[in-house]
Amino acid sequence: MEARVGVDGGSAARKFLHQHQSRPQQPQISQVGTVPQLLAGGIAGAFSKTCTAPLARLTILFQVQGMHSDVAILSKPCIWREALRIVNEEGVRAFWKGNLVTIAHRLPYSSVSFYAYEQYKRILRSVPGLEDHGGHSHGDTFVHFVGGGLAGMTAASATYPLDLVRTRLAAQRNAIYYHGIRHALHTIYRDEGFFGLYKGLGATLLGVGPSIAISFSVYESLRSSWFSHRPDDSTVLVSLACGSLSGIASSTVTFPLDLVRRRMQLEGAAGRARVYNTGLFGTFKHILRSEGFRGVYRGIMPEYYKVVPGVGIVFMTYETLKKLLSEGPFS
C-alpha cells in the first residue's frame, strides 16, 4: 500500500464543537489551501516510503516468489534470511533499490490522494443526507469510505506507469535489465507497447480503492473516538497510532489483490515468458490452484512490519506539515 490517505480536521471540528459544546473537544487544525495540502501530502508519502523501503522491497520479493519458480521447492519465507541474502549478494544499498522512482511516484501520488480526498469529501457532503455531523454519523463514515476510495483510484490512475517501473526495479536481483526510471519507461514501451505501461492497472484499481477507503474510514473513526474519550492527548501520537491500525486493517483485506497486481506488473518483464494469460481473476485462480491460500498472502509479514510504521508516519507527517504550512506563507 502500497497506502495508501488524508484528514480534514478544520471545518468539521469547528462545526462539531459549535453544535456539541458539552462533548469532549478535539484539537482543531486550521484549514489550508491547495498548495500546502499538495506539499504536505507529497512530502508525507515520500518520507514514509523512504523510511520503510527495505521492508517494501522484501514484500515485493516474497510476493513474486513462485512466479517463475517451482512452488514445490520454495523454502518457507524468512524475513531475516532474505535480508541477509540481499546484504551478502547486493549490499545494504540494495534495500533502497527503486527508491528514487518510489519517491518520484509517491510525491504526486500522495499529493493527488490527499487533495482529491479533501475535494471528494466536500462534494459528497453537499449531497442531501450526507452533511457533516461531527464524525459520529453513518453518513460521515460513508463519506470517508467513498471519498477515500475515489481519491485512491484517482491518484493510482494518474501515476500508474511510475508504480509499474518501481515494482520492476525493486524485483530485480543480480541480473539488471532496467537501468533507471527513463530507461525502464523506454524499454517497457519498446518491448510491450504503450499499454505495457498500464499492465495490472485493473487489479491496482480494484485493490487501491478498498485499501484507501478502509484506511481513511478506519483512521477517521478511530481518531474521532480516541479524542472523544481522551481530548488532551497529543495529536501527533494519536495520528501515528490510528494510522498504524488503519494500515493493518486495509492491508489484511486487500493484500491478495496487491500480490496479483505485482505479478501482473512483472508479466513479460526483462523479456521473460508470460506466466498468466487469463486476466485478473484467472491469475488469482491460478495462484490459488498452484500455491494454495497461503500463496495469495505470500509476503504479508514484511507488509505488516512496513505498514505499521509506514501508514502511521504518513498520517503523522501530513497532520504536522498541514498545521505548519497553514501558519506559513502559503496559508
Express each pLDDT in 225-278 by its tens digit. 998 999 888 887 888 888 888 888 888 888 988 888 888 888 777 667 677 777
Q: What is the model's pLDDT at position 266?
A: 82
Q: Give the chain's radius of gyration (CA, Å).
A: 20
Q: What is the model's pLDDT at position 113?
A: 85
DSSP secondary structure string, 108-172? HHHHHHHHHHHHHHHHHTTSTT----TT-SHHHHHHHHHHHHHHHHHHHHHTHHHHHHHHHHHH-
Q: What is the model's pLDDT at position 139?
A: 66
Q: What is the model's pLDDT at position 71?
A: 54
* CA proximity to 255, closest of 287, 211, 288: 211
Q: Is the pLDDT of residue 188 over 90?
A: yes
Q: Is the pLDDT of residue 216 over 60?
A: yes
Is residue 7 very low, low, confident or very high in pLDDT (cuts 50, 70, 90)? very low
Residue 198 vs residue 176, higher pLDDT: 198
- 7-16, 112-121, 230-239, 280-289: the lowest-pLDDT one: 7-16
* CA proximity to 319, closest of 105, 27, 12, 34: 27
CA distances (Å), origin 150, targets 114, 125, 134, 191, 215: 11, 14, 22, 32, 12
**Which cell goes with 288?**
490459488
**Which cell goes with 27?**
484539537
Residue 193 vs residue 308, higher pLDDT: 193
**Which cell goes with 133?**
455531523
Place of cell 492527548: 233
Q: What is the model's pLDDT at position 23?
A: 40
> pLDDT tens for residues 22-55?
444 444 444 556 677 777 777 887 888 888 888 8
Q: Is the pLDDT of residue 201 over 80?
A: yes
Find the DSSP H helices in the chain: 11-19, 34-51, 53-63, 79-90, 99-124, 138-158, 160-171, 180-192, 201-229, 235-265, 279-291, 300-326
Residue 25 vs residue 137, higher pLDDT: 137
Phi, psi at 124, each rounded to 5°: -65, -35
Place of cell 472523544: 228
